[in-house]
A and B are shown apart, each in its own frame.
Chain A
Amino acid sequence: MAAYSNTARVAGTAFFLFCLSLLLISYSARNPGVAGIGSAVFSEVTGPVQLVSHSLYRSVSSLWSDYIGLLDAKQRARDLSARLSALEAENSRLLELENENARLRGILKVTQESALGGVVAEIIGYDPSNWIKAITINKGENEGIRPGMPVLEGDGVVGQIVSASRHVSQALLIIDPGSGVDALVQSTRSRGVVGGAGDKGCEMRYVLREDELNIGDRIVTSGLDGIFPKGLLIGIVSDVDKKSAGLFKEVWLKPAVDFNKVEKVVVITTRPVEAGEK
């Protein structure tokens, strides 16, 4: 009888807690900031430990890579010398293009990209579950980072800040199925929304069937979502399913950023609109 009573109490408590979790999911979906508050407090507690463990790992791995690097330094020096010659030639061509670009920008009075303020941050952690693609970075509110700010690497889109504490922040990557970026096909200006497809990279949704789109096309941010500045590279089209029925095509992208290798990112702290005003 006592065992039955205990089982009933456990089942009752579990049922109540499960209902509570459903309520929490529903509430945090409507108010994304709520999850961010808890996360900020948690990050503030775990941040220093994450920083220490990350720097410890970096020190050990760089020591190891330095040692390995010495072993084939001679061969690499020869290879690098050959690459240097090729890059010098390419550099002079790019300088020419840059000059031309600056002239065109002057003519079109396009806002200079440098008007956007950014904070460079290092990745110190990843989401502990394997189901949400998110990173933790070592900069937070003290450096002006706020939820909703875009995160970039080079000129490639990494994701968006979802929560920020004083010293660390978390960003949802564009490869997470829950993310979304308003995008354009650079060559044809067809529009769509890029969302994550997990390990398959990204998917561009809502591209009309009649829109011209080919493998290798560059997909850039449209700037219409008011979060990401216009013209940032999201990825390259890797597959287009033209056979599928319906209004839209299925378009798959290879992200511009290699998320397994990225170490440092830039958080854009000036909103595109503010940058335009400057």
Chain B
Amino acid sequence: MLSWRAAFLTLLLGIPAVILQGSVLKSVFPDWPTPGFLISIVAFLSFYEVTPLGAVLAFLLGLELDISTGVFLGPWAGAYVVTFVVFSSLSQRIFVESGLSAMVIVFISSLLSNLVFVLLMLEFKSYGWEMIWTALFEALLSALFAPLVLKLLRVLLLRRDQRGNSRSKMVIA
């Protein structure tokens, strides 16, 4: 379970993640989708903070992304909450410490959150089918960075005794 200090730090980490996704990487690679670092944080929470606080943190991280856009409030917050719930229900059965399983989890989390986002925005915007490629590419990039991001989060947010002792029991990878 995260301490209040770690929970606050999680929210603070959302800010550099947004800047990295939006300002730094998109300036360097304007033609390409960028990896979602925030979704890696949400995936981390769904395994290490399966509590109401975890759901609130996922919601607030999504809200950070919504606020940084300045167009709609709520779609990313809703998408991250759904992703959190789905993966927190699986957290007892998956061993997230493995790099490969971290990649698979973040890949699916990214696709799921994008799908929920598109569904929530359906009333206001219609996205073309070509956006499937953007979603897949974004998920792939997010998955590539996932082992590194999750390791960093474990070091920053978990106490020493918690790092090698997650709730995860079953190995899938």
- Asked if B172 lies at the interface with its beta carbon under 8 angstroms from chain A, I say no
B134 A130 Cβ-Cβ under 8 A: yes
Asked if B67 is an interface residue, CB under 8 A from chain A, the answer is yes
Are the C-beta atoms of B22 and A128 separated by less than 8 Å? yes
Binary per-residue interface labels of chain B (17-50) against chain A in the complex, 1 for a CB within 8 Å, 0 otherwise = 1110111101110110110101000000000001
- CB of A63 within 8 Å of the partner chain: no
Decide: B70 and A170 in contact? CB cutoff 8 A: yes
- Is A119 interfacial (CB-CB < 8 Å)? no
Contacting pair A42 B85 (CB below 8 A)? no
* Contact B70 A46, beta carbon cutoff 8 Å: no
Determine if B15 and A45 form an interchain contact, defined as CB atoms under 8 angstroms apart.
Answer: yes
User: A136 touching B22 by the CB < 8 A rule?
Assistant: yes
A152 to chain B, nearest CB (A): 19
What per-residue 1/0 map shows which CB atoms of B81-123 lie under 8 Å from chain A? 1101100110000000000000000000000001001101101
Of B3-11, B54-62, B150-158, the one touching chain A: B54-62
Per the 8 Å Cβ criterion, residues 112-162 of B in contact with A are 114, 117-118, 120-121, 123-128, 130-131, 134-135, 138
In the bound complex, CA of A46 to CA of B67 (Å): 12
A contact residues around B126 at 8 Å (CB): 177
> Which bracket fits the contact residues of B?
35 or more
Q: Which secondary structure characterizes the binding site on chain A?
A: helix
Name which residue of chain A comes closest to B54, CB basis. A10
Is the C-beta of A162 less than 8 angstroms from some C-beta in chain B? yes
The interface on chain A, measured as residues whose beta carbon lies within 8 A of the other chain's beta carbons, has a size of 61
Cβ of B164 within 8 Å of any chain A Cβ, yes or no, is no
Q: Is residue A200 within 8 Å, beta carbon to beta carbon, of the partner chain? A: yes
Expressed in whole angstroms, the minimum distance between the Cβ of A214 and any Cβ of chain B is 23
Q: Is the interface of B mostly helix, strand, loop or mixed?
A: helix
The interface-forming segment of A24-32, A69-77, A108-116, A216-224 is A24-32
CB distance from B40 to the nearest CB of A (A): 13
Chain A residues lying within 8 Å of B31, measured Cβ to Cβ, are: 260
Residues 59-74 of chain B: 1 if any A CB is under 8 Å from the residue's CB, otherwise 0?
Answer: 1001011111111111
B56 touches A54 (CB 8 A): no
Please determine whether B69 and A132 come into contact, CB atoms closer than 8 angstroms: yes
A50-B19 in contact given A13-B52, A132-B69, A134-B70 (Cβ < 8 Å): yes
In the complex, A49 has a CB within 8 A of chain B: yes
B55 touches A136 (CB 8 A): no
Q: Interface digits, A187-223 against B, CB 8 Å rule (1 contact, 0 not)?
A: 0000000000111100000000000000000000000
The answer on a CB contact under 8 Å between A28 and B73 is yes
A80 at interface by CB-CB < 8 Å? no
A57 at interface (Cβ–Cβ under 8 A)?
yes
Contact B130 A200 (CB under 8 A): yes
Task: For A49, list chain B residues within 8 Å (CB).
Answer: 16, 19, 23
Q: Closest CB of chain B to A47's CB: distance in Å?
A: 10
Q: Mark A1-40, 1 if CB is under 8 A from B, else 0.
A: 0000011011111100110111111011100101110111
Q: Which residues of the partner chain B approach A124 to less than 8 Å between Cβ atoms?
A: 23
Taking CB atoms, residues of chain B closer than 8 Å to A134 are 69-71
Looking across the interface, which residue of chain B has its beta carbon closest to that of A261? B30
Taking a contact as CB atoms under 8 Å apart, the answer to whether B74 and A38 are in contact is no
Q: How far is the CB of B158 from chain A (nearest CB, A)?
A: 19
Q: Which residues of A contact B127 (CB under 8 A)?
A: 131, 177, 198
B72 adjacent to A28 (CB under 8 Å): yes
Tell me the nearest residue of chain A to B89, going by C-beta: A7
Select one of A14, A126, A163, A197 contacting B23, CB under 8 A: A126
Question: Which 5 residue pairs spanning A and B have beta carbons closest together?
Answer: A39-B70, A21-B78, A128-B22, A24-B74, A125-B23
Binding site for A on B (CB under 8 A): 15-19, 21-24, 26-28, 30-31, 33-34, 36, 38, 50-52, 54-56, 59, 62, 64-78, 81-82, 84-85, 88-89, 114, 117-118, 120-121, 123-128, 130-131, 134-135, 138
A-B CB contact pairs (8 Å), 26 listed:
A6-B51, A10-B50, A13-B56, A14-B55, A17-B56, A17-B81, A18-B82, A20-B77, A21-B74, A21-B81, A22-B74, A24-B66, A25-B74, A35-B67, A42-B64, A46-B19, A49-B23, A50-B19, A53-B27, A125-B22, A125-B23, A126-B27, A129-B69, A130-B34, A134-B70, A261-B30
